[in-house]
């Protein structure tokens, strides 16, 4: 079954269209990179995919469940299938790396255990193995706010790994990282798909990183999908064209 299926998703802010009839399919084990100039609507698309924002129109299915139509407890339950790795780090700053990963298990661990920081040994072992998989086991007991930006993103990825989420949404997870840290974060995201069969959708501005990372590239411009190609066909020329403002574009060659 398709992990994430978006049909005709449209959204406007104050009457100004920001997304127009966006279609997107992501299969289990697949990494899709979402690229496009600033203001193209990438973050808005991610907000709609999580239902942080309810799109004005369209269908949004996560493993066959239409998130657009759900409310309350049913929506919260469906959202557990989504793992978020967002631009601004979404870790609890004063908790350790290990505790942050355990937060990803919230659906399975009673809240009071998180509050009192008491977790059964098997939960701790699971969280530790997830940190190990992103190369951060030695930071298990370090507070999140003492980790570098790249390490924090990898903790967020370990948290997704520990959770039940099968669809991973990452909005510019490497925006403010140096090349080595960015590479480590993208490799960890890639392995969520390759080794764990999760569907990964990730927006990126560094188009040179796409080739070694994604299976498919979806290009947004002015809220529309203008490109949906295998990563191998996302050549420097295609990338340049996507990022060239409309007025400067030459007619189709």
Ligand X SMILES: Nc1ncnc2c1ncn2[C@@H]1O[C@H](COP(=O)(O)OP(=O)(O)OP(=O)(O)O)[C@@H](O)[C@H]1O
Residues at the site binding ligand X, with contacts judged by CB under 6 A: 13, 18, 36, 38-44
List the structure tokens of 251: 């007619």
Distance CA 103, CA 126 (A): 12
Is 30 or 44 the residue whose CB approaches ligand X more closely?
A: 44
Decide whether 190 or 205 has the Cβ nearer to Mg ion: 205
* Secondary structure class of 50 (helix, strand, coil): helix
Minimum distance, C-beta of residue 90 to Mg ion, in the bound complex (Å): 15
**Phi, psi values for residue 5, rounded to 5°:** -135, 120
Closer to Mg ion at the Cβ: 43 or 163? 43
Q: Give the residue with the Cβ less far from ligand X, 114 or 243.
A: 243
Q: Which residue, 8 or 29, is less far from ligand X as judged by CB?
A: 8
What lies within 8 Å, CB to CB, of 28 at 6+ separation is 1, 3, 166, 197, 198, 199
> Which residue, 39 or 230, is less far from ligand X as judged by CB?
39
Residue with tokens 């808005």: 44
What DSSP character marks residue 143? B
Least distance (Å) between residue 34 CB and ligand X: 8
Among 5, 30, 43, 133, binds Mg ion (CB under 5 A): 43
> Segment near Mg ion (CB under 5 A), from 37-45, 49-57, 101-109, 234-242?
37-45
DSSP strand E in the chain: where?
A: 4-13, 16-26, 31-35, 57-62, 65-66, 82-85, 167-171, 199-203, 216-221, 224-230
How far apart are the C-alpha atoms of 77 and 56, rounded to whole Å?
22
Specify the stretch interacting with Mg ion by CB under 5 A; choose among 20-28, 39-47, 150-158, 222-230: 39-47
Total residues contacting Mg ion by CB under 5 A comes to 2
Give the shortest CB-6-to-Mg ion separation in angstroms: 17
Give the shortest CB-149-to-Mg ion separation in angstroms. 17
CB of 209 vs Mg ion, minimal distance in Å: 16
Q: Is 209 exposed, middle or buried (0-12, 13-18, 19+ CB in 10 A)?
A: middle
Q: Say how far residue 8 (Cα) sits from the centre of its chain.
A: 20
Segment 158-197, which members bind Mg ion (CB under 5 A)? Answer: none
What are residue 176's phi and psi, to 5 degrees? -115, 30
Least Cβ distance, residue 176 to Mg ion (angstroms): 13
44 sits near Mg ion (criterion: CB under 5 A): no
Among Mg ion, ligand X, none, what binds residue 38 when CB lies within 5 to 8 Å by partner kind? ligand X
Binding site for Mg ion (CB under 5 A): 42-43
């Amino acid at each position: 079954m398709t992990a994430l299926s978006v049909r005709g998703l449209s959204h406007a802010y104050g009457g100004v269209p920001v997304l127009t009839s966006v279609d997107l399919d992501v299969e289990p084990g697949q990494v899709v990179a979402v690229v496009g100039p600033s203001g193209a609507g990438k973050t808005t698309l991610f907000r709609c995919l999580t239902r942080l924002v309810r799109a004005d129109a369209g269908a949004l299915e996560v493993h066959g469940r239409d998130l657009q139509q759900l409310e309350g407890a049913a929506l919260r339950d469906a959202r557990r299938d989504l793992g978020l790795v967002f631009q601004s780090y979404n870790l609890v700053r004063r908790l350790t790396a290990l505790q942050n990963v355990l937060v990803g298990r919230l659906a399975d661990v009673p809240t009071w255990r998180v509050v009192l920081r008491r977790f059964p040994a098997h939960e701790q072992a699971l969280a530790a193995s997830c940190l190990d998989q992103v190369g951060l086991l030695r930071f298990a007991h370090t507070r999140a706010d003492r980790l570098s930006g790249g390490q924090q993103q990898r903790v967020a990825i370990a948290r997704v790994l520990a959770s039940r989420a099968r669809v991973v949404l990452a909005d510019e997870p490497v925006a403010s990282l140096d090349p080595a840290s960015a590479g480590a974060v993208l490799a960890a995201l890639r392995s969520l798909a390759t080794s764990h069969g999760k569907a990964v959708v990730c927006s990126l501005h560094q188009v040179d990183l796409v080739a070694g990372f994604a299976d498919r590239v979806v290009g947004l411009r002015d809220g529309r999908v203008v490109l949906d190609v295998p990563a191998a066909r996302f050549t420097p020329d295609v990338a340049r064209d996507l990022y060239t403002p409309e007025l400067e574009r030459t007619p189709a060659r």
